[in-house]
Amino acid sequence: MPARVPGPKAGAALGNLDETPLLAISHRREFVRLEEVRIALPIRMKFEVWFTIEATDEAARMSRGWAYWPAFVFRNLYGIGLVTVLLVGGGWTFIKSLFAPAPDLPHAAVGLLLMAVPIGGFWVFRSRDIRTAMEMLTKMNPLILTFDASGLHTLEKSGATNFVPWASYDGFREGKRVMLLRERETQQYRVVAKKTVPAEAVEQLRSTIRSRLPEIQ
């Protein structure tokens, strides 16, 4: 099955008209070769898709509904409270001890350590998440997306194929790096990245999508 984004998931880039060799890819940049853009109808655009951390992060942010953060806070109430206590308590201990008339360096060090625990924990978990995401993206890349008058065709790296007609989408969103197509039945998103796509190709793709789907505000 092609990549979908129920909340935080998936990204893309675009693909090839000339003989230029495929450029390298990293999680910090997206590279693209425009494969085919035909102005005459029926429009057919074929893209070689590479997922990146930046594109998937933006897609995740854009696909979250208004209830995401309240639900996140509720699910993680204990952890958020603990982090708040450590940061506020550690910061207060550090400042009070260091700037007292007679500075208490041992207690200031304890305050500094209390603040370092949640900050260090965040860095460790974030680094782990990035490594996991990069492993997943390496296994996924590349995909081939083909837009035509009937809908969106996807060819996965494994050789599996999928097709979703335009009638199965009920809207789209556009961000700095990605376009999201929302499936009517599942309310999940298909993701197309556009960061380094030539301006004329982005405009052609935008016009194609807008002629078939309303923009989600």
Q: What is the pLDDT of residue 138?
A: 84
Q: What is the pLDDT of residue 97?
A: 94
Q: Which residues are registered as beta bridge partners of 48?
A: 144
C-alpha distances out from residue 199 to 23, 75, 136, 194, Å: 19, 42, 29, 9
Sequential pLDDT tens for the chain (217 residues): 445 544 433 333 333 333 323 333 333 333 333 333 333 334 688 877 777 888 889 999 998 888 889 999 999 999 999 999 999 999 999 999 999 989 999 999 999 999 999 999 999 999 999 899 889 888 888 888 888 888 989 888 888 898 999 999 999 999 988 899 999 999 899 888 776 667 777 788 888 889 899 998 8
**What's the pTM?**
0.65
| Residue 159 DSSP code | S
Same domain flag for 153 and 203: yes
Same domain flag for 89 and 44: no
Tokens coding 174: 């556009």
Q: How far apart are CA 210 and CA 215, in angstroms?
A: 7
Residue-wise DSSP of 106-124: HHHHHHHHHHHHHHHHHHH
Q: How far apart are CA 163 and CA 101, in angstroms?
A: 72
Same domain flag for 177 and 190: yes
Tokens coding 163: 């097709």
Tokens coding 194: 């556009």
Same domain flag for 174 and 160: yes
Q: What is the pLDDT of residue 89?
A: 95
Tokens coding 140: 């996924």
Same domain flag for 142 and 55: yes
Same domain flag for 177 and 166: yes
| Residue 6 DSSP code | S
Q: Is residue 20 part of a domain?
A: no
The number of folded domains in the chain is 2
- Do residues 49 and 83 make contact, with C-beta atoms less than 8 angstroms apart? no
Which domain, by its residues, includes 41?
A: 34-65+138-210
Contacts of 62 (CB under 8 A, 6+ apart): 173, 175, 178, 180, 189
Same domain flag for 107 and 143: no
Contacts of 206 (CB under 8 A, 6+ apart): 174, 179
C-alpha distances out from residue 13 to 122, 146, 172, 181, Å: 29, 12, 17, 15
Handedness of CA 56, 8, 65, 151 (dihedral sign): positive
Q: How far apart are CA 212 and CA 170, in angstroms?
A: 9
Q: What is the pLDDT of residue 43?
A: 67
